[in-house]
């Protein structure tokens, strides 16, 4: 059974850079390197609701929401079965629950992490 | 950008009664291959969203058959034939027609038990 687990700081200061990591575990068929799945980050705020940030394929191909593109980097480490999100120059508006999830090209977010609450505050 | 509008935003339901949620899109979500790229998710209190319906009308693995999705183009509906207490939460539709991955979600419909 596939499991995704987010890790990273719960509190960062304004203007700092945030790095979140999603660890993927399960059967051999569930590895990041297998299949045609994409691995993405979505965040949830009271004001904007659920918002897609970025996705990565195991080959390293990356896809970004233009709203974040200048500040965000997504990467994958197949040897560790992990993928990461780096968000720079954070502000209070980046305070949110950050989810990692697996999806297909046409949506189908069928596995989600439990979510990581990030607070941006001095 | 595709805008999804859900209604109602709040849905009080008596257990055992049916429930229906509408999701309307500002653009057609039907691909040239005939599929409608519209998913439905349920976020139970304190949990991550979970996939209920994909491609407009296909139930995800493990989803009870009291849940059904229908619609095409710009108008979609999620129906629960008989609401149970465990169905409480916020229901979201999500469009997946825009590529790559410029998907967005509706505002959410909060289902509560009367």
Among chain A residues, CA nearest to B48: A114
> What pLDDT is recorded for position B102?
84
- Which residue from B50, B60, B105 is facing A49, i.e. has the nearest CB? B105
Q: Taking CB atoms and an 8 Å limit, are A49 and B108 in contact across chains?
A: yes
> What pLDDT is recorded for position A103?
93
- Dig out the tokens for A37 from the structure: 């799945």
Question: Chain B contact for A115, CB < 8 A?
Answer: yes
Which residue numbers in chain A have pLDDT < 50?
A: none
> What pLDDT is recorded for position A68?
87
- Sign, CA torsion B9/B95/A103/A100: negative
SS3 state at A67: coil
Task: Reply yes or no on whether the pLDDT at B58 is more than 80.
Answer: yes
Q: How many CB pairs under 8 A join A and B?
A: 62
> What pLDDT is recorded for position A1?
84
The 3-state secondary structure of B94-108 reads EECCCCCCCCEECCC
The 3-state secondary structure of B51-99 reads EEEECCCEECCCCCCCEEEEEECCEEEEEECCCCHHHCEEEEEEECCCC
> What pLDDT is recorded for position B101?
81
- Which residue from B51, B102, B108 is facing A108, i.e. has the nearest CB? B51
Using CB atoms within 10 Å of the CB of residue B83, give its burial: 0 to 12 exposed, 13 to 18 middle, 19+ buried.
Answer: buried
- The mean per-residue pLDDT over the stretch B29-46 comes to 96
Question: Nearest 5 degrees, angle CA B33-CA A64-CA A113?
Answer: 90
Q: Name every chain B residue with its beta carbon within 8 A of the beta carbon of A63.
A: 100-101
For the sheet containing A18-25, what is the strand order? A3-7, A18-25, A82-87, A72-77
Q: CA distances (Å), A29 to each of A24, A106, A110, in order?
A: 11, 20, 15
Going by the DSSP 8-state scheme, the letter that residue A93 receives in this structure is: G
Question: Chain B contact for A57, CB < 8 A?
Answer: no
Whether residue B101 contacts residue B1, with contact meaning beta carbons closer than 8 Å, is answered with no
Strand partners, A102: A39, A111
- The mean per-residue pLDDT over the stretch B76-101 comes to 94
- The mean per-residue pLDDT over the stretch B75-86 comes to 98
Whether residue B93 contacts residue B4, with contact meaning beta carbons closer than 8 Å, is answered with yes
Count CB neighbours of A48 within 10 A.
13
Question: Chain B contact for A61, CB < 8 A?
Answer: no
């Amino acid at each position: 059974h596939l499991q995704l687990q987010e890790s990273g700081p719960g509190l960062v200061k304004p203007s700092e850079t945030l790095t979140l990591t999603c660890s993927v575990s399960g059967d051999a068929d569930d590895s990041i390197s297998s299949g045609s799945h994409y691995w993405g980050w979505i965040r949830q705020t009271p004001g904007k609701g659920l918002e897609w940030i970025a996705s990565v394929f195991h080959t390293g191909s990356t896809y970004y929401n233009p709203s974040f593109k200048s500040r965000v980097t997504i990467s994958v480490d197949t040897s560790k079965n992990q993928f990461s999100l780096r968000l720079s120059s954070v502000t209070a508006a980046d305070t949110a629950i950050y989810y990692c999830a697996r999806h297909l090209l046409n949506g189908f977010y069928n596995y989600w992490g439990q979510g990581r609450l990030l607070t941006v505050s001095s | 950008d595709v805008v999804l509008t859900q209604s109602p935003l709040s849905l009080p339901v008596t257990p055992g009664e049916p429930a229906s949620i509408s999701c309307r899109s500002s653009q057609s979500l039907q691909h040239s291959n005939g599929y409608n790229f519209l998913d439905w998710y349920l976020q139970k209190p304190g949990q991550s969203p979970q996939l209920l319906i994909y491609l407009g009308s296909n139930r995800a693995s493990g989803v009870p058959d009291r849940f059904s999705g229908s619609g095409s183009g710009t108008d979609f509906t999620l129906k629960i034939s008989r609401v149970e207490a465990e169905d409480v939460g916020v229901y979201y539709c999500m469009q997946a027609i825009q590529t790559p991955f410029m998907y967005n979600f509706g505002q959410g419909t909060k289902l509560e038990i009367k």
